[in-house]
Amino acid sequence: MLLLATDLDGTLLGGHEDEKLKLYKILNENPGIKVVFVTGRGLDSVKPLLDDPIIPNPDYIICDVGATVVDGATLKPVEPIQSEINDRWPGALKVDLYMKEVPGLRKQLVPMERRCSYYYDEAVDMKMLEENAKELGLDVIVSAGKFIDILPGGINKGFTLRKLMEMLNVPEGEIIVAGDTLNDLSLFQTGYNGVVVGGAEDVLKEATADQKSVFHATSNGCGGIIEGFRFFGHLEY
Ligand SMILES: [Mg+2]
Protein backbone atom coordinates (compact mmCIF):
# COMPACT_ATOMS: atom_id res chain seq x y z
CA MET A 1 0.00 0.00 0.00
CA LEU A 2 1.00 3.59 -0.57
CA LEU A 3 -0.50 6.77 0.83
CA LEU A 4 0.17 10.05 -0.93
CA ALA A 5 -0.44 13.10 1.25
CA THR A 6 -0.14 15.99 -1.15
CA ASP A 7 -0.45 19.73 -1.29
CA LEU A 8 -2.71 20.93 -4.13
CA ASP A 9 -1.66 24.23 -5.73
CA GLY A 10 1.77 23.91 -7.34
CA THR A 11 1.91 20.22 -6.42
CA LEU A 12 -0.99 17.88 -7.30
CA LEU A 13 -2.50 20.64 -9.46
CA GLY A 14 0.87 21.68 -10.91
CA GLY A 15 3.21 20.49 -13.63
CA HIS A 16 3.00 19.77 -17.33
CA GLU A 17 -0.38 18.71 -18.65
CA ASP A 18 0.84 15.26 -19.78
CA GLU A 19 2.44 14.54 -16.41
CA LYS A 20 -0.71 15.61 -14.61
CA LEU A 21 -2.76 13.20 -16.68
CA LYS A 22 -0.20 10.47 -16.12
CA LEU A 23 -0.24 10.86 -12.32
CA TYR A 24 -4.03 11.19 -12.14
CA LYS A 25 -4.32 7.96 -14.15
CA ILE A 26 -1.94 6.18 -11.75
CA LEU A 27 -3.94 7.38 -8.74
CA ASN A 28 -7.33 6.64 -10.28
CA GLU A 29 -6.42 3.16 -11.49
CA ASN A 30 -4.60 1.89 -8.39
CA PRO A 31 -6.95 1.44 -5.44
CA GLY A 32 -3.86 0.44 -3.42
CA ILE A 33 -2.79 4.08 -3.41
CA LYS A 34 -4.65 6.21 -0.89
CA VAL A 35 -4.73 9.97 -1.40
CA VAL A 36 -4.93 12.73 1.20
CA PHE A 37 -5.24 16.34 0.07
CA VAL A 38 -3.29 18.65 2.38
CA THR A 39 -3.94 22.23 1.41
CA GLY A 40 -4.07 25.82 2.50
CA ARG A 41 -7.41 26.17 0.77
CA GLY A 42 -10.64 26.16 2.73
CA LEU A 43 -13.01 23.23 2.20
CA ASP A 44 -15.35 25.29 0.01
CA SER A 45 -12.59 25.88 -2.50
CA VAL A 46 -11.60 22.20 -2.49
CA LYS A 47 -15.14 21.03 -3.27
CA PRO A 48 -15.13 21.94 -6.99
CA LEU A 49 -12.14 19.58 -7.45
CA LEU A 50 -14.19 16.69 -6.08
CA ASP A 51 -16.61 16.99 -9.01
CA ASP A 52 -13.79 16.92 -11.55
CA PRO A 53 -13.80 13.52 -13.27
CA ILE A 54 -10.05 13.55 -13.94
CA ILE A 55 -8.60 14.71 -10.62
CA PRO A 56 -8.43 11.74 -8.23
CA ASN A 57 -10.82 11.80 -5.30
CA PRO A 58 -9.11 11.92 -1.91
CA ASP A 59 -9.74 9.50 0.94
CA TYR A 60 -9.28 12.39 3.35
CA ILE A 61 -8.96 16.17 3.07
CA ILE A 62 -6.82 18.27 5.38
CA CYS A 63 -7.50 21.92 4.57
CA ASP A 64 -7.15 25.39 6.12
CA VAL A 65 -3.40 24.66 6.45
CA GLY A 66 -4.15 21.80 8.85
CA ALA A 67 -7.00 23.35 10.83
CA THR A 68 -9.72 21.24 9.17
CA VAL A 69 -9.76 17.49 8.57
CA VAL A 70 -12.65 15.70 6.87
CA ASP A 71 -13.47 12.37 5.29
CA GLY A 72 -13.05 12.67 1.52
CA ALA A 73 -16.34 10.95 0.72
CA THR A 74 -18.73 12.26 3.38
CA LEU A 75 -16.91 15.56 4.08
CA LYS A 76 -17.69 14.95 7.76
CA PRO A 77 -15.06 16.06 10.32
CA VAL A 78 -12.63 13.38 11.45
CA GLU A 79 -13.06 13.06 15.20
CA PRO A 80 -11.56 13.38 17.73
CA ILE A 81 -8.86 15.23 15.76
CA GLN A 82 -11.17 18.04 14.64
CA SER A 83 -12.40 18.76 18.17
CA GLU A 84 -8.85 18.92 19.46
CA ILE A 85 -8.09 21.58 16.83
CA ASN A 86 -11.31 23.50 17.55
CA ASP A 87 -10.40 23.71 21.24
CA ARG A 88 -7.27 25.70 20.34
CA TRP A 89 -9.07 28.35 18.25
CA PRO A 90 -10.40 31.53 19.85
CA GLY A 91 -12.62 32.45 16.86
CA ALA A 92 -11.98 34.60 13.79
CA LEU A 93 -13.59 37.73 15.27
CA LYS A 94 -11.15 37.83 18.14
CA VAL A 95 -8.16 37.12 15.90
CA ASP A 96 -9.18 39.84 13.43
CA LEU A 97 -9.52 42.29 16.30
CA TYR A 98 -5.93 41.60 17.38
CA MET A 99 -4.56 41.69 13.83
CA LYS A 100 -6.42 44.81 12.73
CA GLU A 101 -3.88 46.98 14.52
CA VAL A 102 -0.90 45.38 12.71
CA PRO A 103 0.23 47.51 9.75
CA GLY A 104 0.83 45.91 6.34
CA LEU A 105 -1.80 43.18 6.69
CA ARG A 106 -4.79 42.69 4.41
CA LYS A 107 -7.35 39.94 5.01
CA GLN A 108 -7.65 37.34 2.25
CA LEU A 109 -11.15 37.09 0.84
CA VAL A 110 -11.23 33.30 0.65
CA PRO A 111 -13.32 30.75 2.50
CA MET A 112 -11.56 29.80 5.75
CA GLU A 113 -12.28 28.12 9.04
CA ARG A 114 -10.34 27.94 12.30
CA ARG A 115 -7.61 30.12 10.79
CA CYS A 116 -7.22 33.67 9.52
CA SER A 117 -5.25 34.35 6.37
CA TYR A 118 -3.82 37.65 5.23
CA TYR A 119 -1.65 39.17 2.56
CA TYR A 120 1.29 41.16 3.81
CA ASP A 121 3.55 43.78 2.26
CA GLU A 122 6.87 45.38 3.20
CA ALA A 123 5.07 47.63 5.71
CA VAL A 124 4.25 44.65 7.90
CA ASP A 125 5.28 44.81 11.54
CA MET A 126 6.22 41.14 11.95
CA LYS A 127 7.20 41.58 15.59
CA MET A 128 3.84 43.06 16.55
CA LEU A 129 2.09 40.38 14.54
CA GLU A 130 3.95 37.61 16.33
CA GLU A 131 3.39 39.16 19.75
CA ASN A 132 -0.34 39.51 19.14
CA ALA A 133 -0.54 35.92 17.90
CA LYS A 134 1.39 34.71 20.93
CA GLU A 135 -0.97 36.50 23.24
CA LEU A 136 -3.81 34.46 21.76
CA GLY A 137 -1.75 31.25 21.81
CA LEU A 138 -1.71 31.11 18.02
CA ASP A 139 0.90 30.23 15.40
CA VAL A 140 1.99 32.32 12.42
CA ILE A 141 2.94 30.69 9.12
CA VAL A 142 4.48 32.83 6.39
CA SER A 143 4.40 31.52 2.82
CA ALA A 144 5.36 32.43 -0.74
CA GLY A 145 6.63 35.85 0.37
CA LYS A 146 3.11 37.30 0.56
CA PHE A 147 0.78 35.10 2.60
CA ILE A 148 0.36 34.90 6.35
CA ASP A 149 -1.77 32.28 8.05
CA ILE A 150 -2.71 32.57 11.71
CA LEU A 151 -3.47 29.12 13.05
CA PRO A 152 -4.50 27.44 16.29
CA GLY A 153 -1.37 26.88 18.43
CA GLY A 154 0.63 23.84 17.34
CA ILE A 155 -1.60 23.20 14.34
CA ASN A 156 -0.12 22.91 10.87
CA LYS A 157 -0.34 20.51 7.94
CA GLY A 158 2.17 18.11 9.50
CA PHE A 159 0.47 17.99 12.90
CA THR A 160 -2.90 17.07 11.47
CA LEU A 161 -1.48 14.56 8.97
CA ARG A 162 0.45 12.81 11.74
CA LYS A 163 -2.66 12.62 13.93
CA LEU A 164 -4.62 11.18 11.02
CA MET A 165 -1.95 8.63 10.11
CA GLU A 166 -1.72 7.46 13.72
CA MET A 167 -5.48 7.16 13.98
CA LEU A 168 -5.62 5.12 10.76
CA ASN A 169 -2.55 3.07 11.73
CA VAL A 170 -0.79 3.71 8.44
CA PRO A 171 2.80 2.38 8.62
CA GLU A 172 5.30 5.24 8.25
CA GLY A 173 7.13 3.55 5.37
CA GLU A 174 3.99 3.59 3.24
CA ILE A 175 3.50 7.36 3.41
CA ILE A 176 4.81 9.90 0.91
CA VAL A 177 4.18 13.62 1.41
CA ALA A 178 4.56 16.25 -1.32
CA GLY A 179 4.61 20.03 -1.41
CA ASP A 180 6.11 23.18 -2.90
CA THR A 181 5.93 26.12 -0.45
CA LEU A 182 6.89 26.97 3.10
CA ASN A 183 3.51 26.07 4.54
CA ASP A 184 4.37 22.49 3.50
CA LEU A 185 7.51 22.44 5.66
CA SER A 186 5.68 20.82 8.58
CA LEU A 187 4.77 17.90 6.28
CA PHE A 188 8.47 17.23 5.74
CA GLN A 189 9.20 17.66 9.43
CA THR A 190 6.98 14.67 10.22
CA GLY A 191 9.92 12.52 9.09
CA TYR A 192 7.75 10.72 6.54
CA ASN A 193 9.29 10.24 3.10
CA GLY A 194 8.67 13.44 1.17
CA VAL A 195 8.99 15.02 -2.25
CA VAL A 196 9.74 18.69 -2.66
CA VAL A 197 8.55 19.11 -6.25
CA GLY A 198 10.39 21.11 -8.90
CA GLY A 199 9.59 24.82 -8.98
CA ALA A 200 9.30 24.85 -5.18
CA GLU A 201 9.94 27.94 -3.11
CA ASP A 202 13.69 28.38 -2.42
CA VAL A 203 13.12 28.74 1.32
CA LEU A 204 11.43 25.33 1.38
CA LYS A 205 14.27 23.76 -0.61
CA GLU A 206 16.82 25.26 1.77
CA ALA A 207 14.90 24.25 4.88
CA THR A 208 14.74 20.61 3.71
CA ALA A 209 18.16 20.42 2.01
CA ASP A 210 19.81 18.24 4.67
CA GLN A 211 16.85 16.04 5.46
CA LYS A 212 17.44 12.40 4.55
CA SER A 213 13.73 11.62 4.23
CA VAL A 214 13.26 14.33 1.60
CA PHE A 215 13.77 13.93 -2.16
CA HIS A 216 14.10 17.08 -4.26
CA ALA A 217 12.49 16.44 -7.64
CA THR A 218 13.39 18.12 -10.91
CA SER A 219 9.97 18.19 -12.57
CA ASN A 220 7.27 20.55 -11.38
CA GLY A 221 4.09 19.39 -9.68
CA CYS A 222 2.79 15.99 -10.76
CA GLY A 223 5.97 15.11 -12.66
CA GLY A 224 7.88 15.63 -9.42
CA ILE A 225 5.49 13.37 -7.50
CA ILE A 226 6.03 10.57 -10.05
CA GLU A 227 9.81 11.03 -9.69
CA GLY A 228 9.31 10.74 -5.94
CA PHE A 229 7.33 7.50 -6.24
CA ARG A 230 10.26 5.98 -8.14
CA PHE A 231 12.87 7.41 -5.81
CA PHE A 232 11.14 5.82 -2.84
CA GLY A 233 11.02 2.43 -4.54
CA HIS A 234 7.60 2.37 -6.15
CA LEU A 235 9.13 1.59 -9.52
CA GLU A 236 5.91 0.22 -10.99
CA TYR A 237 4.65 3.79 -11.48
MG1 LIG B 1 1.39 24.68 -2.93
The pLDDT tens digits of the residues spanning 126-178 come to: 999 999 999 999 999 888 788 899 999 999 999 999 999 999 999 999 999 99
Do 18 and 53 lie in one domain? The reply is: yes
Tell me how far the alpha carbon of residue 184 lies from the centroid of ligand 1, in angstroms: 7
In a domain, 237, yes or no: no
Q: Please give the radius of gyration of the chain, using alpha carbons only, rounded to the nearest integer.
A: 17
Do 60 and 20 lie in one domain? The reply is: yes
Tell me how far the alpha carbon of residue 93 lies from the centroid of ligand 1, in angstroms: 27
What is the C-alpha separation between 49 and 150, in angstroms, rounded?
A: 25
Tell me how far the alpha carbon of residue 24 lies from the centroid of ligand 1, in angstroms: 17
pLDDT at 153: 96
Do 64 and 159 lie in one domain? The reply is: yes
Return the axis-axis angle of helices 126-135 and 92-99, rounded to nearest 10°.
Answer: 150
Which range of residues forms the domain containing residue 70? 2-85+155-231
236 vs 234, higher pLDDT: 234
- CATH code, 114: 3.90.1070.10
Average pLDDT of the residues in 59-75: 97
Do 44 and 108 lie in one domain? The reply is: no
Tell me how far the alpha carbon of residue 198 lies from the centroid of ligand 1, in angstroms: 11
In a domain, 236, yes or no: no
Residues 67, 77 contacting (CB under 8 angstroms)? no
- CATH code, 191: 3.40.50.1000
Please give all residues whose CB falls under 5 A of ion ligand 1, grouped by chain where several chains appear: 7, 9-10, 180-181
Average pLDDT of the residues in 93-104: 94
What is the C-alpha separation between 14 and 155, in angstroms, rounded?
A: 25
